[in-house]
């Protein structure tokens, strides 16, 4: 939901998204904010109808709008008749106003997968869908009906109707979470994908199925137990420094949402700095997929390293100060090239924070890094595996001629 992208051919100027007066709709607050921040096209005007607007304004907006997003509805009430009134009946009133304009304005409605269920809420949502489809059949207007599963992503209100929002909020604040049926499977859709699809619909490129409904191109299925495990791993990563596997879209999107729920006074966390006579060393990030990153501060004249590895590959990057990095192939055979200094099988690289250069540390080469400047040396290190104290794969040997 937002403005057109560079490839869009949609040239109308006004569109409206609507929220039911008196009662807030499922995911409307989240969708409205994402809609606002995705509307980057200044030629489009958003006509926002909310709980504080008068009925007359809705009629005026409908007459002015070139596209309508109907995102509202009632999903919580102690009275079953409220579902009928707020979902089915209001949508019928809305399409009647639309028909009276004679404009055949395109209409998008966000429905729910509950519309397929035999309950008062589901029946009211199905009734709203049928009103929209009938409006399209009578007028020839383009209508887009989306049966959305559970929406997750930033700005979703916790303790309302989203288990993901509830648990992100609670876990990030050390509050308890309750799982009654851990094996229950839920289907989720990411808010950014919803917004992208709604923008496509605005521009006339909705993802329409043979059943007449429009669909978000990607959804995710997970159990409540798996969802809880993933969210707790996000929480624990601050202590262990092991970031979760974010190769899959679901984990990556979920991590983004989790971070959005951090208390504003808890964005930062401390790293353990191991001090000795050389300076200090701190681990930063660990991952089972890409290894680990750490940073060091080395005093002038001090050397680190003097060891080699069988399998552990590394990269060094000096970001401040001057350093001399030495290598020697432990089997004594060596090759030379035009970018290194080779003296009796010793390879030397001079590096500086003034000109960033990454040094690959091949296995089978003993290596060291020496601060040759007058100030402290700051270096970022990467290793292709997490350090295992029980199997360090580190063998002392100075890179000097035997």
Q: Cβ neighbours of residue 271 under 8 Å, at least 6 residues apart?
A: 241, 282, 283, 284
Our answer to whether residue 121 is catalytic in this structure is yes
DSSP 44: -
Query: Per the structure block, which two tokens stand in for 91?
Result: 């949508």
Q: Which of 238, 233, 224 is nearest to 251 (CA)?
A: 233
Q: Which of 139, 148, 84, 83 is nearest to 107 (CA)?
A: 139
Report yes or no: 348 and 340 within 8 Å, Cβ to Cβ: yes
Exposed (0-12), middle (13-18) or buried (19+): which is 296, by Cβ within 10 Å?
buried
Catalytic residue, chosen from 10, 17, 49, 121, is: 121
Exposed (0-12), middle (13-18) or buried (19+): which is 31, by Cβ within 10 Å?
buried
Spatial separation of the C-alpha atoms in residues 300 and 281, rounded to whole Å: 15
Q: Which of 218, 225, 238 is nearest to 178 (CA)?
A: 225
Cα 93–chain centre separation: 38
DSSP 153: S
List phi, psi (to 5°) of 367: -150, 160
| Long-range pairs for 276-279: beta carbons < 8 A, 24 or more residues apart | 277/302, 278/302, 278/304, 279/376, 279/377
Place of tokens 């009946």: 89
Can you state the angle between helices 249-260 and 163-172, rounded to 10 degrees?
60
DSSP 242: B
By annotation, the residues acting in catalysis are 121
């Amino acid at each position: 939901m937002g403005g057109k992208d560079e490839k869009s051919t949609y040239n109308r100027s006004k569109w409206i998204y609507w929220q039911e007066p008196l009662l807030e709709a499922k995911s409307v607050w989240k969708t409205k904010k994402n809609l606002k921040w995705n509307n980057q096209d200044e030629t489009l005007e958003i006509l926002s109808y909310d709980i504080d607007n008068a009925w007359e304004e809705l009629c005026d907006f409908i007459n002015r709008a070139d596209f309508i997003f109907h995102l509202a509805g009632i999903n919580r009430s102690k009275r079953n008749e409220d579902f009928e009134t707020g979902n089915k009946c209001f949508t019928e009133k809305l399409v009647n106003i639309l028909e009276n304009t004679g404009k055949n304005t395109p209409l998008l409605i966000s429905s729910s997968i509950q519309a397929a269920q035999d309950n008062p809420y589901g029946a009211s949502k199905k009734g709203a869908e049928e009103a929209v489809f009938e409006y399209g059949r009578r007028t020839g207007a383009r209508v887009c009906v989306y049966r959305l599963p559970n929406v997750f992503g930033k700005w979703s209100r916790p303790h309302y109707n989203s288990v993901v929002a509830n648990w992100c909020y609670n876990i990030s604040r050390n509050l308890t979470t309750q799982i009654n049926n851990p094996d229950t499977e839920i289907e989720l859709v990411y808010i950014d994908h919803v917004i992208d699809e709604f923008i496509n619909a605005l521009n006339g490129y909705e993802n329409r199925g043979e059943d007449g409904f429009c669909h978000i191109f990607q959804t995710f299925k997970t159990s409540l137990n798996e969802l809880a495990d993933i969210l707790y791993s996000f929480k624990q990563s601050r202590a262990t420094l092991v970031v979760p596997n974010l190769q899959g879209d679901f984990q990556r999107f979920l991590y983004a949402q989790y971070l959005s729920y951090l208390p504003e006074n808890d964005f930062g966390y401390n790293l353990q700095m191991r001090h000795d006579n050389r300076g200090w060393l701190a681990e930063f990030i660990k991952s089972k997929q890409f290894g680990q990153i750490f940073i060091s501060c080395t005093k002038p004249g001090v050397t680190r390293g003097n060891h080699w590895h069988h399998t552990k590959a590394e990269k060094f990057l000096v970001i401040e100060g001057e350093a001399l990095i030495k290598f020697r192939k432990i089997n004594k055979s060596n090759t030379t090239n035009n970018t290194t200094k080779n003296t009796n099988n010793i390879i030397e690289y001079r590096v500086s924070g003034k000109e960033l250069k990454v040094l690959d540390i091949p296995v089978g080469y003993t290596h060291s890094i020496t601060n040759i400047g007058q100030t402290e040396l700051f270096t970022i290190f990467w290793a292709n595996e997490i350090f295992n104290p029980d199997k360090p794969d580190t063998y002392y040997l100075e890179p000097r001629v035997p």
